[in-house]
Amino acid sequence: MTTIKLHNTKTRTKEVFVPIDRKNVRMYVCGPTVYDRAHLGNARPVVVFDVLFRLLRHVYGPDAVTYARNFTDVDDKINARAAERGRSIAEITGETTQWFLDDMGALGAVEPTHMPRATAYIAQMVAMIADLIDKGHAYAAEGHVLFAVDSWKAHYGQLSGRTVDDMIAGARVEVAPYKKNPMDFVLWKPSTPDQPGWDSPWGRGRPGWHIECSAMAHDLLGESFDIHGGGNDLMFPHHENEIAQSCCANPHGEFARTWLHNEMLQVEGKKMSKSLGNFFTVRDLLDKGVPGEVVRFVFLQTHYRKPMDWTDKKARDAEATLRKWRALTAGIEPAASAAAAVLEALADDLNTAGAIAEMHKLAAAGDAAGLLASAQIVGLLTPAMAAWSEAPAVDLTSHEARLFAARQTAMDSKDFSEVDRLKTAYTEAGLEVRMSKTGVELVPGPGFDAAKLEDL
């Protein structure tokens, strides 16, 4: 059997993965807060843990792995979006949840075994909070219930590697008169009449964010399970707080044995942000004609624990590679198993970059069957992802040169009518026209029709 090694954030070491029960391998990953489209950074953990899900199923069997990824559908951002658009919270969360599933499906992500919605687990959250109060780990104050960090002070901070005192000194914590300790965090908070709320022993209110995952993970996976994953931005305070409240509520369990965190995403070497104008959603890329398989390939070229840089060049190169690989494997049945070197790379802390390098070797050697089996274990070259590549690639270099020459002529004559005519024709054909001082780039969009270029 393949030996899997994973870097455990909690121990800061790469460990041999030994499941608690190899017939019931369990993984929980923090999912989205559903109030808008998923941006590109939101998609990275989905792809990372989708590959791990596939690997675990390959090693232990498809029926031996349980993967839970939640939807947070009660949150102040959702409330604000519903009020802003004059729509109900149920409409907003229902629509955005489906958007997320559609967009992640376009990237080839397999749907998890369980996709719990927080609002369906309010009773479990209330029960866990009441239990924490009974055990002296939480207290009620002014309609709120807060976790008492001092009750877990000896252990709090082990995941992120910080002491409580360091956290207080360096953190921006909410100051409230009802807190016994600045680091105490909310388990339950009161709701106004216009906010969603549920009855509880502490009055009508709604859960804090951290308690949601603890309650859902416990209900679906038990007191102890194998892997908990998410982006490294969740390590503190979210995952730290999950550990505290879960271990205090269930002192005989481990909660999660292994913690995996993926690094963040950049765009052209810079942090993605609206202020820099480099913020875009998965749907933005798909609508521009970037195939979901291409997005997935670009993600997999970087190890999950390293920052990933999205660039247009990487996307173009990925598309070219995938077209070659799909042409090579057309009409071929996959080998019985992925190549040993590919499996070895994946089993070494999910080294997808190493696995892709091995696939390039298989392609160069003409091993189509081995390439196909190896690619499919990471969700590439699957039949479901093939549609985009079935249309032949169109060489647009002559059109790009023509438009560039027309513009150069127009710069001298000051007559831009031919430039405008060509730009209009290319746009109507479904091409995005990108012009700069150094050249012209024509990028096919989702409605690109090459036939419309024939009369130009």
CATH code: domain of residue 35: 3.40.50.620
AA letter at 181: N
pLDDT band at 44 (very low <50, low <70, confident <90, very high): very high
Is residue 388 scored above 70 in pLDDT?
Answer: yes
Kindly state whether residues 90 and 164 are assigned to the same domain: yes
Question: Cα-atom radius of gyration of the chain, to the nearest Å?
Answer: 25
> Could you tell me the pTM of the whole model?
0.87
Decide if pLDDT at 210 tops 90. Answer: yes
In terms of domains, do 79 and 157 share one? yes
Q: Could you tell me the pLDDT band of residue 391, with boundaries at 50, 70 and 90?
A: low
Q: What is the pLDDT confidence band of residue 456, given thresholds at 50, 70 and 90?
A: confident
Q: Which residue among 227, 262, 297 closes a domain? A: 262
- Tokens 């502490």 belong to which residue? 202
Confidence label for 393 from pLDDT (cuts 50, 70 and 90): low
pLDDT given for residue 385 in this prediction: 94
pLDDT higher than threshold 60 for residue 129: yes
Residue 239 in marked binding region: no
pLDDT of residue 254: 94
User: Would you tell me how many other CB atoms lie within 10 Å of the CB of residue 349?
Assistant: 19
On the CB side of 329, CA atoms within 13 Å amount to 29
How many percent of the chain have pLDDT more than 70?
96
Arithmetic mean of pLDDT, 424-445: 86
Contacts of 6 (CB under 8 A, 6+ apart): 14, 15, 17, 227, 258, 260, 349, 350
One domain, residues 246 and 315: no
| Per-residue confidence band for 75, with pLDDT thresholds at 50, 70 and 90 | very high
pLDDT surpasses 80 at 169 = no
Quick one: which of 338, 364, 272 has its CA closest to 309?
Answer: 272
Picking from 262, 291, 306, the residue at the C-terminal end of a domain is 262
Given a cut of 90, whether residue 168 has pLDDT beyond it is: no
Q: Is the pLDDT of residue 272 over 90?
A: no
pLDDT of residue 174: 64
Backbone angles phi, psi at 396, to 5 degrees: -105, 10
Does residue 359 sit in the same domain as residue 401? no
Confidence bin at 218 (pLDDT 50/70/90): very high
pLDDT at 122: 98
End of a domain among 235, 262, 289?
Answer: 262
pLDDT surpasses 70 at 285: yes
* H or E segment to which residue 224 belongs: strand 224-231
Count of the separate structural domains present in the chain: 3
Question: E-strand spans in 370-439?
Answer: 431-435
Position 289 confidence tier, pLDDT thresholds 50, 70, 90: confident
Whether residue 321 sits in one domain with residue 235:
no
Question: Is 358 part of any known ligand binding site?
Answer: no
- Is 247 marked as a binding-site residue? no
| Band of pLDDT at residue 445, cut at 50, 70 and 90 | low
| 185-190 and 265-267 strand pairing | unpaired
Based on the domain organization, do 181 and 305 belong to the same domain? no
> For residue 114, what are the β-bridge partners?
68
Which pLDDT does position 392 carry in this prediction? 63
Examine the domain organization and report whether 309 and 430 are in the same domain.
no
Q: Is 135 annotated as a binding residue?
A: no
Together in a domain, 36 and 135: yes
Q: Do 140 and 50 have their domain in common?
A: yes
**205 pLDDT more than 90:** yes
Which domain, by its residues, includes 410?
Answer: 396-453
Q: Determine whether the annotation assigns residue 238 to a binding site.
A: yes
Place of tokens 């800061």: 12
Q: Are 233 and 105 part of one and the same domain?
A: yes
Is there a single domain that holds both residue 67 and residue 203? yes
382 and 412 share a domain? Answer: no
Work out the pLDDT band at 429, boundaries 50, 70, 90.
Answer: confident
